[in-house]
A = this chain, B = another copy of it.
Amino acid sequence: MHSIGYFQSIIQKKIDGFCRVNGTEEILQPVNYIIQLPAKRMRPVLALMSANLFADEVEEIIYPALALEVFHNFTLMHDDIMDNAPLRRGNVTVHEKWNTNTAILSGDAMMIQAYQLMCKAPAENLKDVLSVFSTTALEVCIGQERDMQFEKRNDVTVQEYMEMIRLKTSVLVAGAMKIGAIISGASEKDQQMLYSFGENMGIAFQLWDDYLDAFGDQSKVGKQKGGDIIADKKTFLLLKAIALSNDAEKEIIEKYKGASPAHNAEKVVAIMRIFENLNLKELLQNEMKFYYDAALASMQQVAVADERKKPLLHFAESIMQRDR
């Protein structure tokens, strides 16, 4: 069994090699730039850890794992255009550093490269692996589309939000785990259980982001507390607040929508008070625990010795305890 750090270093080495092969071809410079921004490499690491449950040797999973990271970064490159984002991981976004056309085209090239890497999966698994990958990839696009639609809508439900984050974030984590399982020869049931583990962990992970924004220890979170509140972002908390609030509270939420930056501080205080009145901290914690437990239940059904599951369970636990 290998550690997360070990897998991260394997992936980083492969990324370095990938960038060297890309060389100085102009269209691939933004690809090399975005993939080398500091990142946790969560998806490829999870694919490798998933494979490592069933096999000691995970060599065959490295390129497909890298494909997931390349694909993920492609989605970031295009999402940043659509979201008009100036920064990504603390650095200038591709469309700002180059221009929008370059970000579109280099993103396209990057997606093709993701498929090229995924095609290095063993021939006997290729059809299955590509099927999971493409289905997942399409769902990620649909998730992004929903997210953009939500910005324009005033009637988004909590249920719709949960489905959006499942599509935009969770399915790629789930797909990563399933691809690792497929290539390492897991049974179909185990593949499905790992997909389910990743899917539920992904949702819990995303909800944790919502939690940290409102209830995190600001000295550790490392960003402005209530950033989502200030941006009127339709998170689990805001949507739940809208659903559960009384008329007076609804009026307050409405009043602060799109408020000028001068009112940011009082806005955060006012909205946070509503969150507290409605017991949303506890509600969100319960919600996260629901998905976390569902993930653990799926893992329990995976037919390998408990000993082998420890790194993944430890990883899951660490995600639910992270403070930023």
Contacts and interface: CB of A to CB of B under 8 A. Distances in A.
A104 interface: yes
A192 to B, nearest CB: 21
Interface string A123-147: 1001100110010011001101100
B145 A119 contact: no
B142 A108 contact: no
A260 interface: no
Contacts of A144: 105
Given A104-B81, A145-B26, A137 B119 contact: no
Given A123-B127, A127-B119, A130-B119, A105 B145 contact: yes
A112 interface: yes
A155 interface: no
Interface of A is mostly: helix
Interface residues of A, number: 33
A154 interface: no
24 contacts: A25-B142, A26-B149, A27-B141, A78-B108, A81-B101, A81-B104, A82-B101, A101-B148, A107-B108, A108-B111, A108-B141, A109-B138, A109-B142, A111-B111, A111-B112, A112-B137, A112-B141, A115-B115, A115-B130, A115-B134, A119-B134, A123-B127, A126-B126, A130-B130
In the A-B complex, the 10 residue pairs with the smallest Cβ-Cβ separation, listed nearest first, are A82-B101, A27-B145, A109-B141, A116-B134, A112-B137, A112-B138, A119-B130, A108-B141, A112-B134, A115-B134
